[in-house]
Structure 1
């Protein structure tokens, strides 16, 4: 086996191990989609009920007639469109960087959700695991001052390191993502990087819970070095 074949084989083994590790968290992504669907359906039903009630009240005052019935039908048809309109607006990288610290975990989760289709299948369970971590982290940031060093490290991880890793991977042409590049395979590098970030969020959560903010700031500095390669991933 050549050195390149050996590198690819080891990268595939890493991807498989990491995917299996996070497979149980994939239900988180499905639950999020179900919640969004139920919110859309609820919005559609409420709008339709309001149209019907409004038409009934108006009918007591004045007959609707054929024109009125057409208007009501048109409004009911418009209500159906609510089932296809997302309940949350899209999050861009620019908006992510400007997001208030308290809302950053939710906005990061929304941004990751929008990136799913552009990432390889082994990365999806890790995204779900990150979403779980962000959900746990969010309440802890509610009482954390944005000027705290720990707050700056949280923001750097979620709005800098994580997006840079993902966008760096996406900038690589799809046929080359499974091939060795500078001694690394981009698919494996993405999976490994996301796994490290997921664990780092878990560490942040534990240290915030224990009040060890100085330790969090010091521990997190190594990411500046480790994820410098994320900036160069698509270079």
Structure 2
């Protein structure tokens, strides 16, 4: 017959308390809303650094509270906290990145996931796009964030969903890809009064305004108007 279970040491309790703090930061046991990575060409690195900082801060706060309220951690407790911080840093730093969806995959996405998928793809294209287009991309990203919340109640086969899919999942990626087909040396060369860079920026502005109108109609509950408005963007890149 085994003897009584020995009481937990301060080191064990410190480790457990810190681990619970890390779980809270990671979202353990909590249903979180889906967020895409931070925008920008180096958004993945920034996001990992932010997560590492938050996780380590949570560990330090939990360890400080335990040491100040319950009992001092001692040398072994402090060492355990440092090892836990190192482990969390390595896990976050070397975790595999989520691959950027392709336009083909975006086109097959469920309507509820479509705005987030398109926004992630558009974010990944930023380094190859002209600087004047970047503010427009930011505005489109904000529109897609709003639209992603608004279409949560739409079914994939709803008429209004087809209009959203056409603009967000087809026309927007196609327009950017048409621009990317133009050789880099010709993108600043005027053709028909505008350079390809200007055409891209202007076209993205049109798409951003279309997204705004969609959001307004969804906010007003006017799904019939959204489904039957019949506006198909005739934005085809004409330069090569």
TM-score if structure 2 supplies the norm length? 0.63
Is 1:82 the counterpart of 2:111? The answer is: no
Q: Secondary structure at the match of 1:142?
A: helix
Q: 1:123 aligns with which of 128, 133, 137?
A: 133
Instruction: Give the aligned CA root-mean-square deviation in angstroms.
Output: 3.5
Q: Does 1:93 align with 2:103?
A: yes
Aligned position for 1:36: 47
State the distance in 2 between where 1:98 and 1:134 align. Answer: 17
Q: In the TM superposition, what whole-angstrom CA distance separates every residue of 1:69-126 from its partner, at most 9, and x where no partner exists? A: xxxx9xx589536325565332111211111110111111110110000100000111
Deviation string 1:8-66 (CA, Å, 9 cap, x unpaired) is xxxxxxxxxxxxxxxxxxxx846x949723564269859x99xxxxxxxxxxxxxxxxx
| Distance apart, 1:151 and its partner CA | 0.5
User: In 2 relative to 1, CA 205–38 (structure 1 residues): closer, same or farther, beyond 3 Å?
Assistant: farther
- In structure 2, what is the Cα distance between the partners aligned to 1:133 and 1:86? 28
Q: Identify the match of residue 118 of structure 2 among 108, 116, 131.
A: 108
Q: Any unmatched runs of 5+ in structure 1?
A: 1-27, 50-72
Rate the CA distance shift 1:199–1:85 in 2: closer, same or farther, 3 A: farther
- The whole-number CA distance in structure 2 between the counterparts of 1:39 and 1:99 is 29
Instruction: Please say if residues 55 and 88 of structure 2, whose CA atoms lie closer than 8 Å, have aligned partners that are also in contact.
Output: no
On the 8 A contact 1:40/1:84 being kept in 2, the answer is no
Query: More helix by proportion, 1 or 2?
Result: 1
Match of 1:193 in 2: 203
Residues of 2 paired with 1:122 and 1:85: CA distance? 34
Residue of structure 2 equivalent to 1:205: 215
Structure 2, unaligned runs of 5 or more: 1-37, 61-82
How many residues align? The count is 181
Q: Secondary structure at the match of 1:101?
A: coil
